[in-house]
Amino acid sequence: MSSISAIWTQFFPPANGAPITEANLTSQAGKVFIVTGGSSGLGYELSRILYGAGAKVYLLTRSKEHADDAISRMQSFYEASDGAPNSKPRGSLHFIFMDLVDLATVKAAAQEFLGRETGPGARLDALFNNAGTGALKKAPKTRQGHEYHFGTNSLGGFLLARLLTPILTSTAQKAPTGSVRVVWPASCLVDMMTPKGGIRSEFLRDQGAVTDANELYSSSKAASWFVASEFARRQPEGVLHIAGNPGNYLSNIWRDTPALLYWILRPILRDPVHGAETYLFMAFSESVTLDDAAAGRYVICDGRWHPGQREDLLLALRSVEEGGSGRAKEYFDWCEDKVNEFVR
C-alpha cells in the first residue's frame, strides 16, 4: 500500500487548492471536446464548465433523455449571466448515444462523431474518458462477454481512444505542443485495494479468475493508468494521455457500501465540481507535459502530482527489459486483442 500520507491527501485535499477552476479557465472557443458520461456527476460539471467557456462539447452517454435534461440544465445555468460584464460567449452541446457495455455502440459513437466533425476544420482537442461504474456485486457481463468493471471502466474507453486517435493526432499537428489530450480517471482505491502489480496476470488469462467486486473495480481503475502510460509510449504523435484520481464522490464509488459504513464515509465524499477541476488540470495545465505522460506520472485531486505510489505499480509501467514487471504492456496488448474486431 502507498504511504498513509499519500492516501490521506487524496481523501482530504487542501481546501481551495485547485489551480484551474471555472473562474480562471481561459476561453475554449473554437475547440472541440468529448465527455463520456457527460450527463451526470463529474461529467456533467465538466461539460457545463467547458460549454460555459465557449467550447463545442459532445456528451457520449447511453440515455438521450438524461442527456437532453442535462443540456437544458447547463444552458439554464448560464442564462442569468448572459449579457453581464465579462461574461464569456457560450459554446454548444451535442448528444451521441454510447453504452460502454457494448463495444459496437462505442464504435458507432466514434463513427458518428467523425461524421459530424468533417472538413479542414475537423478537430478533437480532448477526450475525457469519464464514464464508468462503481464496484458492483454480481455484475453482469458486457455484451461481448467481458467482465463488467473492466468492460465499462477500461475496454470501452480504450476502444474509443483507439478509434479517435487519427483525429486527435491531426489536431495535435496544428495545436500547441502537448495541448491535445486524453484524460483517464482512476481512483484512490488503486493505491489501497489493487493486488500486486495492479492487475492479476491470471485475470488476463481468465476473466472469471477474480470475483471480488472491490478488486475488480480497483484493478479496472489501475487499468486506466496503465493504458494511458502505454498510449503515451506507443503513440508519440503529440497526443498526451494522462491518468489520475479525480477524487472521492458520492456518484461514482461506494455504491454497495453497507449503510453504516456509508454514513461514516459520507463526510469525505465531495461535490463533483471538484472532480471536474481535477479534470481541468489534467486537460489544460501547462505543467502536465508529454514527458510526464511518457513517464506514467499520475495526478490526484484537485490537480496535484501523486506524492509517491506503490513500487509494484511503478514497476508495472516498465517493461521487463527495463527492469519492470511489464504488466501495463501486457494489459494494453490484452485490450488490443479484445477490441480487435472493432478497429478493423
**Number of alpha carbons in the 13 Å side-chain half-sphere of residue 39:** 19
Calculate the alpha carbon distances from 124 to 29, 32, 332 in Å.
Answer: 13, 5, 23
Query: What SS3 state is found at 94?
Result: strand
Of 44, 217, 279, 331, which is the active-site residue? 217
88 is catalytic: no
* Residue that the C-alpha cell 459513437 belongs to: 109
* Amino acid at residue number 317: L
Taking the C-alpha atoms of residue 32 and residue 125, their distance in angstroms, rounded to an integer, is 5
Taking the C-alpha atoms of residue 259 and residue 236, their distance in angstroms, rounded to an integer, is 47
Buried b (16+ CB within 10 A) or exposed e, 43-66: bbbbbbbbbbbbbbbbbbbbeeeb
Contacts of 294 (CB under 8 A, 6+ apart): 229, 232, 233, 236
Of 31, 56, 221, 329, which is the active-site residue? 221
Taking the C-alpha atoms of residue 108 and residue 133, their distance in angstroms, rounded to an integer, is 21
Backbone phi and psi for residue 281, each to the nearest 5 degrees, phi listed first: -60, -45
* Residue that the C-alpha cell 499519500 belongs to: 6
221 is catalytic: yes
Calculate the alpha carbon distances from 95 to 35, 64, 157, 163, 267 in Å.
Answer: 10, 7, 17, 18, 34
Q: What angle do CA 31, 58, 248 make, to 5 degrees?
A: 100
Long-range CB contact pairs, 255-263, < 8 A, 24+? 255/134, 255/135, 255/136, 256/134, 256/135, 256/136, 256/137, 256/213
C-alpha cell of residue 110: 466514434
Q: What positions carry a catalytic annotation?
A: 217, 221
